[in-house]
Amino acid sequence: MAVESSENPAITEWKSEFGLPEFGRIRDEDFASAFDAAMAAHIAEIEAIAGNAEVPSFANTIDALELAGRDLRRVSALFWHRAGTESTPAIQKLEREVGPALARHSAQVYMNDQLFARIDELHERRTSLGLTPEQVRVLELHHKHFVKEGAKLDDAGKQRLAEVNQRLAALAADFGQNVLADEAGWSLPLTESDIEGLPDSLTAAMAEAARERKVDAPYAVTLARSIATPFLEASSRRDLREKVFKAWTARGDMTGGKMNAPVVAETLKLRREKASLLGYDSFAALRLDGTMAKTPEAVEDLLGAVWPAALKSAGEHQAQLEVLAAEDGINDGLRPWDWRYYSERLREKLYDLDEASLKPYFQLDRMIEAAFDVATRLFGISFRERKDVAGPHPEARVFEVLETDGSLKGIYIGDYFARSTKRSGAWMNLFRKQHKLRGGELPVVFNVMNFAKPSAGKPALLSLDDARTLFHEFGHALHGLLADVTYPSVSGTSVSRDFVELPSQLYEHWLAVPEVLRKHARHSGTGEQIPADLLDKVLAARTFDAGFDAVEYTASALVDIRAHSESGETPSSDPLAFEASILNDLDMPEAITMRHRTPHFLHVYYGDGYAAGYYSYMWSEVLDADAFAAFEETGNPFDPETAARLRSAVYASGNSVPPEDAYKAFRQRLPSPDAMIAKRGLSTAPAAQ
């Protein structure tokens, strides 16, 4: 990637309404030159800060550092969004080049001796500089980040760390593209006889998938979760369930020369080396330095406290499922492709509740309205769709976010439907962070989902799990939209990994508030409110199959933390054998698999965002269960005083204060795991009548 000027200023000069990019003017082939120019411009800014002849001050060093690299942030935001949502061969080729290039660029920034000397001097004098608490926090975080990126290493150490980081970036690109190739390349064609008994909403989604994939059959199962999971729950065809489940769990491990096991093995080896270079016993120790958990041992303690209760609950549930399976002549033991199917049958039996009866009440548009309505009632903000403003994809929807006084708070973008070019899963990210530094900027936040697209003219219907996902990701979006800090580096979701899930998981609670469901869960055909008896069943079944959920999640978290806690001379070199060994030691039930097997564990190996950090969902769940209890204790899920405290202490503060302090500012104390275990309902499974 040679340095040259960007041929398309639309990538860095965002001139559409609200300061958005002109998405329609940006082509895949524009990104390479844009990256080159943006990195060169950023290095020039860094060298100017480092070479400033003036005595280091917070303004001429930290303020300047915070604002440097605007063009690179913009190019990166646009590129990685496109790589995740509209991947093409050209984008994938560039992704393999950009990752290492950005790693080299990062090394130039964080290993700049002159720049670090200025930061180090300010850090030494931080108590005498008259800084605000936020400025002290920002300075301390910058200093620690530079140290963890190699600023204190000798020249040989810096060179080796830079090489390791570049290789890790290339491996991350390979990992993600291998998973995408499997997801895009696999489908199971089905005929009319194969879909007997499936709900209409699922067959409609399968018909749309067959059309979109150009499958030579009227229906197709794909590896999109919004199709694969409902199929596993509803299909009475055990042979087809087995095919779908095995493909689902083999992602990243099924495409011949694109297997991810060797990618993971090299990744783990290099992560261990990186940790050692920086003076840590393991990569887990490196990543947990600065989090709420702080040590791998604390993570193991939390997960270990949950695991026995999860196994007990799952075992009780499995015994009930095996009774139902035996009625169908299955006497060879429950298999993983059987669990969801018979669990749905048991739920119908216990609660007279099935997904097909629920889905008409969970229309996508109404669930979006519900998420917005909760935000309005809690925080006073409102949302106004702007169909005249173009988003990053024709299906993306753009909304103004308005404060109570009508002023603009930010922009929210939602991209809801699965596509073969879109990475699986759901996530939140930002095109622009909120900050107030030197004029400031308003946030531009987006959510990406992978819901099944309905046939033309039909409403998109969600499962209850889909609706929770929507609320979860919107909770992340609110964390970005409600940010109210001066410095961009501590804005919104720029918090420790085991705190970032608190605003999202907490927000899920309001989906189950009865008055929210009564208002927004309306039948797609009749518009009628969800019947009281059906609502009661939904609420009664909230912790149904809790053991299964806890086992598949906790197993994934334990494999992650243990893989990254390895150190010494002879760590495991076969990640799949290591995975199997851990599961064997845990007495993992044969009928349940990890939520994310190693070859497709995107959280952990498509970059290192959740590496040694997948536990954070449960860590944050300890917080969110206790946080929602603050509302329950008032008797009002929308209590104004509690909501105001939540907004200021958690959603608005970002990383401007340590996470423990942010939580205590809201709740006046830290919680224990008891509320989370009770919320999950892990004591016993309900008995069949």
SS3 sequence, 290-359? CCCCCCHHHHHHHHHHHHHHHHHHHHHHHHHHHHHHHHCCCCCCCCHHHHHHHHHHHHHHHHCCCHHHHH
The contacts found for 53-59 with CB under 8 angstroms, 24 or more apart, are 56/118, 56/119, 56/121, 56/122, 57/122, 58/122, 58/129, 58/131, 58/135, 58/139
Which is catalytic among the residues 473, 501, 508, 552? 473
Q: Which residues, listed in sequence order, are joined to residue 414 by a DSSP beta bridge?
A: 397, 447
What CATH number belongs to 360-540? 1.10.1370.40
Q: What is the pLDDT of residues 325-351, one digit of tens each?
A: 999 999 889 999 999 999 999 999 999
Structure tokens at 455: 């046939």
**Residue 674: predicted pLDDT:** 80
Structure tokens at 463: 């499962």
Parts of the chain with a pLDDT under 50:
1-6, 684-689
C-alpha separations of 96 from 5, 32, 420 in Å: 21, 12, 20
Residue ranges matching CATH 1.20.1050.40 in the chain: 9-152
Class of domain 9-152: mainly alpha
pLDDT, residue 681, reads: 78
**pLDDT, position 677:** 81
Chain centroid to CA 54 = 42
Give the pLDDT score at 572.
72
Tell me whether residue 569 is one of the annotated catalytic residues: no
Enter the pTM of the model: 0.90
Instruction: Return the pLDDT at 687.
Output: 45
Helix axes 133-148, 113-124, angle to 10 degrees: 140
For residues 488 and 656, what is the distance between their CA atoms, to the nearest angstrom?
A: 10
The one-letter code for the residue type at 384 is R
Which residue intervals of the chain bear CATH 1.10.1370.40? 360-540
| pLDDT score at 570 | 55
Nearest 5°: CA angle at 228, between 223 and 229?
135
